[in-house]
Amino acid sequence: MSRKDEQKIDRSSIKKILLIRLRRIGDIMMTTPAAAILRDGFPEAWITYLVEAPYKDLVEGHSLFDQVIILPRTLTRREFFRFVRKIRKNRYDLVIDFHGGPKASLISLFSAARLKIGYQVKYKCFIYDIRIPRSPQKGYIHSVENHVNLVKALGVTFRSIPRISFPPLGPEEEKVLQRYLRDNRLEKIPYVVLHIGAGNEFRFWGEKNLAGFIKRLTQNLDIPVILVGGSEDKATEGVLMKDSPSNVLSLVASIGLKRLYGIISSAALFVGPDSGPMHIASATNTPIVALFGPMIPAIFGPWQARSVIIEKDLNCRPCDQRQCRYGDFRCLRTISPDEVYSASLQFLKGSLD
């Protein structure tokens, strides 16, 4: 932080703070270590987190935040600026924009906050009083560290960056989780959570690979597998469930984020591609086998989690996920079921003894 930036900050006057990160699951989860550092640095401040409606469960009820404001996904221009006027009335002393997208930057611009901190993004730099580079000049920086750098700009000191965190389950949510585990006889036996999709074909491991991995788990280890995913994964779910044994269960497109967190928390292992659920898993004590294709773990790896990362050393990585140079998504789909099964055994052997 430059001397000029230091002069912009009067820490004693910062009483109300607005944090903005609109989407998506993993990106929001990776702001929580920065938020924890901010909370330690400003223990008496009122901290509000602004998030889009589909992702509110990631922050609502979290001890780090005094308030969560929900931005509807679809707003007319008039409705959006009416929303911004409500933000403006809160008279925040500080806004930290973890996002930098069009909506987030507009909210920052019109928030009327005395101090605005954000990334040094082209055409938007004028919005922020303090701007932090989003990418290093050389190499890579993890997204968690990137967010922490925005908080460091306030002069906050800390010993180490904490883990990613998730709001605790409420009594009713815990009751639903325990009922599911009891009804499926999973209370006292280890099981694996397998994320079967990741939002786009670049991070889809492929039905053949998924089926091969499930077969190895259920036949070699006789361990239950719970499939998770979104509505876009229903077709894949149908293929996988068609010939699967009775100890393969599916929660695809049938649970929310809090219940997903609970299911992963009680599992012996989480397996899946670079995705939002992987970052939810990193907030638990459940070990992770993470499959990385177009993106690289140096930026998006499971932060401080017990994990094994499987990736292929290809010169086309990382990529922008717009068009596969080879047309076969080889970065992820050449990872074999045997590789993932072998990595999984490192964590499952102790659970099965």
Q: What pLDDT was estimated at residue 350?
A: 74
Averaged pLDDT, 3-15 = 74
Averaged pLDDT, 138-167 = 96
Domain 171-352 has CATH 3.40.50.2000: yes
Q: What is the pLDDT of residues 337-347, one digit of tens each?
A: 999 999 999 99
- The Cα 198–Cα 78 span in angstroms is 34
Inform me whether the pLDDT recorded for 2 exceeds 60.
no
Q: Are 17 and 93 in contact (CB under 8 A)?
A: yes
- Identity (one letter) of the amino acid at 272? G
Averaged pLDDT, 52-77 = 96
- The Cα 277–Cα 271 span in angstroms is 10
Question: How many CB atoms are closer than 10 A to CB 351?
Answer: 16
Q: What is the pLDDT of residues 75-102, one digit of tens each?
A: 999 999 999 999 999 999 999 999 999 9
Averaged pLDDT, 105-131 = 93
**Structural element, H or E, at residue 183:** helix 171-183
Tell me, which fold does domain 3-152 have in CATH? Rossmann fold (3.40.50)
- Residue intervals of the chain classified under CATH 3.40.50.2000 are 3-152, 171-352
